[in-house]
């Protein structure tokens, strides 16, 4: 971009101010908001962080915590994460881990690492908006990843080449994904590995919600399934796992991680060194202590709270939604995805809902790389109490009923 173009464009301002207006609106106490994509701050392990930051800043690591550190991240945190990865079936060592500033940064770096303008990224339809935002900077083309369809790797490759680039990776949010709440089945995970092998491309596994399973059968991460195929050798794996503490301990500390074969990690370390040197040292040391002492118990607390809210929202949807409306039944995470009859538009409904019902949600079309999905909504149950969830869904159901009748 040139300085002249920057001074000429006003797009940035309009978008930011629109978002700010919307947030201001949602901040009013009489709005019941299912719009947020954020965890409930009442569930942060505040006492554990108070203790950890005090311990670090008053202890022998204080000087180190305030100093520059290595780009790959704090070794004891990478040790803890390697053990955590092993517990979910991924044979990782600390050298397979890079600490990032949230998993958003991992997605940005992976876009930067793999994509040249015109290359193809295979993504779900819909998919995580932040992933599209991160990848967009590198000007890819998107193709719809549909592992259980009849399309072969050669079909995807031919389409990518016809568009003037190469297919570079398949990106999937695997468990209780943002925005749909859906989980990728074991068969689809295995098929993604087959496709990636056929195409000789990477798989980016976004596991931001992985630890938040409430019920149902645990499905191993794609990286675990691939490692099992390779005799337990992660160094032979093409899958790149992106994890985060944002949905479990705290998003405000900006600590996430990438787990992958060492050649990939080494490239990302060089990239991180050039881009921001390293993630905050103090935060990495403090979160290590919180993870070591509180992770498992805290996960149980969050799961219990979110499970109850999901159950209330599912019950309310069953009670109040008119015929023709369907929704997902997530086994974890924060989101339920609603599909309206084709005649309704999520953005129109939001405007009417804010005006007459004071209920907020996110229209679903934003999550589609091709701008489709106008008749869908994303609802989050993470930040509302159970009474407000019931009331909000009741109001929304009535509004949709009226909209269908008119």
Site for a copy of itself in 63-82 (CB under 8 A): 63-69
Comparing C-alpha atoms, which of 55, 38, 13 is closest to residue 287?
55
User: Which listed residue (271, 299, 366, 404) binds a copy of itself by CB under 8 A?
Assistant: 271
Over the window 117 to 146, marking each residue x when it contacts a copy of itself by CB under 8 A and - when it does not, the resulting string is -------------x--xx-xx---------
DSSP assigned state of 234: G
298 binds a copy of itself (CB under 8 A): no
DSSP assigned state of 342: T
262 binds a copy of itself (CB under 8 A): yes
Strands 120-123 and 376-380: unpaired
157 binds a copy of itself (CB under 8 A): no
Stretch that binds a copy of itself, among 38-46, 147-155, 206-214, 306-314 (CB under 8 A): 38-46
Site for a copy of itself in 182-211 (CB under 8 A): 200-202
Strands 202-206 and 167-173: parallel
Strand partners of residue 173: 206
User: Which listed residue (33, 178, 210, 250) binds a copy of itself by CB under 8 A?
Assistant: 250
Phi, psi of 32, deg, nearest 5: -95, 110
Comparing C-alpha atoms, which of 265, 257, 191, 201 is closest to residue 229?
191
Which C-beta is closer to a copy of itself: that of 247 or that of 310?
Answer: 247
# of chain residues touching a copy of itself (CB under 8 A): 79
CA dihedral 110, 115, 120, 122 (to 10 degrees): 0
Which C-beta is closer to a copy of itself: that of 289 or that of 375?
Answer: 289
User: Which listed residue (18, 21, 28, 46) binds a copy of itself by CB under 8 A?
Assistant: 46
Site for a copy of itself in 97-116 (CB under 8 A): 100-102, 104-105, 108, 112-114
277 binds a copy of itself (CB under 8 A): yes
165 binds a copy of itself (CB under 8 A): no
User: CB atoms < 10 A from the CB of 406, how many?
Assistant: 5
DSSP string, 291-337: HHHHHHHHHHHHHHHHHHHHHHHHHHHHHHPPTT-EE---SBSSEEE
In whole angstroms, how close is the CB of 120 to a copy of itself at the nearest point? Answer: 12
């Amino acid at each position: 971009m040139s300085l002249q173009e920057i001074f000429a464009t006003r797009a940035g301002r309009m978008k930011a101010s629109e978002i700010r207006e919307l947030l201001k609106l949602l901040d009013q106490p009489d709005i019941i908001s299912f719009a947020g994509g954020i965890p409930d701050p009442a569930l942060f392990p505040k006492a554990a962080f108070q203790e950890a930051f005090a311990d670090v800043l008053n202890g022998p690591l204080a000087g180190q915590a305030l100093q520059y550190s290595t780009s790959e991240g704090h070794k004891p945190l990478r040790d803890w994460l390697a053990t955590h990865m092993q517990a979910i079936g991924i044979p990782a060592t600390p050298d397979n881990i890079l600490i990032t500033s949230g998993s958003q940064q991992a997605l940005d770096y992976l876009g930067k690492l793999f994509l040249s303008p015109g290359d193809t990224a295979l993504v779900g339809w819909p998919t995580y908006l932040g992933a599209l935002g991160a990848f967009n900077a590198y000007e890819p083309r998107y193709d719809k990843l549909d592992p259980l369809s009849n399309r072969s790797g050669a079909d995807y490759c031919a389409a990518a080449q016809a568009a003037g680039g190469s297919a570079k990776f398949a990106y999937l949010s695997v468990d209780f994904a943002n925005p749909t709440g859906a989980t990728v089945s074991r068969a689809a995970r295995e098929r993604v590995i087959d496709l990636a092998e056929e195409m000789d491309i990477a798989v980016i596994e976004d596991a931001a919600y992985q630890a938040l399973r409430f019920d149902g059968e645990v499905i191993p991460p794609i990286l675990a399934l691939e490692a099992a195929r390779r005799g337990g050798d992660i160094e032979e794996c093409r899958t790149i796992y992106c994890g985060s503490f944002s949905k479990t301990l705290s998003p405000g500390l900006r600590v996430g991680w990438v787990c992958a074969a060492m050649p990939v990690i080494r490239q990302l370390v060089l990239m991180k060194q050039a881009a921001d040197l390293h993630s905050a040292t103090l935060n990495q040391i403090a979160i290590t202590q919180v993870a070591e002492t509180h992770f498992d118990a805290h996960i149980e607390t969050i799961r219990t709270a979110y499970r109850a809210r999901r159950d209330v929202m599912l019950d309310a949807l069953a009670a109040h939604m008119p015929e023709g409306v369907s929704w997902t039944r997530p086994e974890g995470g924060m989101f339920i995805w609603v599909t309206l009859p084709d005649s309704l538009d999520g953005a129109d409904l939001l405007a009417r809902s804010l005006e007459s019902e004071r209920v907020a949600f996110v229209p679903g079309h934003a999550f589609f790389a091709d701008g489709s999905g106008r008749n869908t909504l994303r609802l989050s149950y993470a930040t509302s109490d159970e009474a407000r969830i019931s009331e909000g869904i009741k109001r929304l159901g009535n509004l949709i009923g009226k909209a269908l009748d008119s």
